[in-house]
Structure 1
Amino acid sequence: MAATEEQAIQSVWTRPRRKRDQPALSQAQIVAEAVRILDVEGVDALSMRRLGTALNAGATSLYRHVANRDELIELVVDEVHGEIALPDGDDPERWREAAVIGARSVRAMILRHPWVASLLGSVGLSYLGPNVMRLNERLLAVFVTAGFPGDEAEQAISSVMAYVIGMGTSEAAWLTTIAKSGKSEREWAEQLRPAVEAAVREHPHQRERIAQGDVDPERVREEKFRYGLDRMLDGLETRLKR
Structure 2
Amino acid sequence: MVGAADRARRLAGLDRERVTAAAVRLLDAEGPARFSMRRLAAELNVTAMSVYWYVDTKDELLELALDAVFGELELPEPESEADWRDRLRGLATGYRAMLVRHPWVSALIGNPVDVGPCSAAFSACVRRVAADTGIPPYGQVGAVSAVFQFVYGAQFAGAESGERDSEFALDLLIAGIEAMVARSGR
Q: Same fold (TM over 0.5)?
A: yes
Residue 153 in structure 1 maps to residue 140 in structure 2: yes
Q: 1:43 aligns with which of 22, 32, 36?
A: 32
TM, length-normalised to structure 1? 0.65
Q: What pairs up with 1:202-241 in 2 under 5 angstroms?
A: 218-241=159-182
Distance 1:224 1:65, change over 3 A: same
| 1:65, distance to aligned residue in structure 2 (A) | 2.4
Residue 124 in structure 1 maps to residue 112 in structure 2: yes
Q: Which residue of 1 aligns with 2:3?
A: none
Equivalent AA in structure 2 for residue 53 of structure 1: A
Q: What pairs up with 1:20-39 in 2 under 5 angstroms?
A: 24=10, 25-39=14-28
SS at match of 2:55: coil
- The Cα RMSD (Å) is 2.2
Q: Give per-residue Cα distances to partners, 1:99-129, cap 9 Å, x unaligned.
A: 00000000111111112122212x322x111
Distance 1:240 1:89, change over 3 A: farther
Equivalent pairs, count: 174
Q: Does the 8 Å contact 1:103/1:161 carry over to 2?
A: yes
Residue 59 in structure 1 maps to residue 61 in structure 2: no
Q: Which residue of 2 aligns with 1:137?
A: 124
Q: 1:77 aligns with which of 66, 86, 90?
A: 66
Q: How many Å separate the matches in 2 of 1:147 and 1:231?
A: 17
Q: Which one has the largest radius of gyration?
A: 1
Q: How many Å separate the matches in 2 of 1:229 and 1:89?
A: 22
| 1:70, distance to aligned residue in structure 2 (A) | 1.7
| 1:93, distance to aligned residue in structure 2 (A) | 7.2
Q: Does the 8 Å contact 1:93/1:146 carry over to 2?
A: no
Q: Unmatched 5+ residue regions in structure 1?
A: 1-20, 176-217
Q: Which residue of 2 aligns with 1:10?
A: none
**Range 152-161 or range 99-108, more displaced:** 152-161
Q: How many Å separate the matches in 2 of 1:229 and 1:237?
A: 12
Q: Which residue of 1 aligns with 2:90?
A: 101
Q: How many Å separate the matches in 1 of 2:44 and 2:137?
A: 45
Q: How many Å separate the matches in 1 of 2:127 and 2:97?
A: 20
Q: Does the 8 Å contact 2:67/2:118 carry over to 1?
A: yes
| 1:98, distance to aligned residue in structure 2 (A) | 0.7
Q: How many Å separate the matches in 2 of 1:90 and 1:31?
A: 31
Q: Percent identity at matched positions?
A: 34
Q: Does the 8 Å contact 2:20/2:68 carry over to 1?
A: yes
Q: Does the 8 Å contact 1:89/1:98 carry over to 2?
A: no
SS at match of 1:114: coil
Equivalent AA in structure 1 for residue 112 of structure 2: G
Q: How many Å separate the matches in 1 of 2:138 and 2:38?
A: 43
